[in-house]
Amino acid sequence: MLGPDTASARSHSKALASSPHVAGTPAQTRTADYVLEQMAGWGLDTSRVEFRVFLPFHDSTVVELVAPERRRLMLDEPPEPSDSATLRGIWPAMNGYSGAGDVTAPVIYANYGLPEDYDVLDSLGVSVEGRVVLARYGRSYRGIKAREAERHGARALLLFSDPQNDGYFRGDVYPAGPMRPLSAVQRGSLYNGRGDP
């Protein structure tokens, strides 16, 4: 087997990244089929092994301001016309293993949502108990932020990407540059346990 060349690497990358392929979806099955077919074509022994795993899927996510005026916030990333990967099937905005619910409560900003940020709030006499915590991504794993919000009695946690950290404050945004566009949404896991859930 010869090493990869630029054209084949580009072709495989395009095939694998052309659409979201979250585990347990038909798109993931198509991706696995592609990989198995390619590997078999290279003369490798291939097989498929199925595992039952706990994966979070959600029906919908809505974030809405209710005062001083009612306004639904945008959670969907608009497609980037120059990037075909963004034109179809973008996975909805969510963090895996987050709780489900319907919460209406005042919002408290907690900087990065880390223990030291709650110390500052405590020193100012601000409690997040029964509130929605608004915190920035960065400086720590998002699951720590969820754990801390829960530990401090928050009813919900909203995480956002601050353009000061990875957006237009740092340089040109995608596709003109490497920085995150304003409408981009991070996705990931909030799981804090060891191993698979």
Per domain, the residue ranges of the chain are 53-189
DSSP label at residue 4: P
Residue 169: HSE in the Cβ half-sphere, 13 Å Cα cutoff: 6
**Crossing angle of helices 26-41 and 6-17, rounded to 10°:** 160
Handedness of CA 94, 100, 102, 108 (dihedral sign): negative
pLDDT in tens, 116-165: 999 999 999 999 999 999 999 999 999 999 999 999 999 999 999 998 88
pLDDT in tens, 78-128: 877 787 767 666 777 788 888 888 999 999 999 999 999 999 999 999 999
Q: Which fold has domain 53-189?
A: Glucose Oxidase; domain 1 (3.50.30)
- Cα 68 to Cα 64, 104, 124: the distances in Å are 11, 14, 25
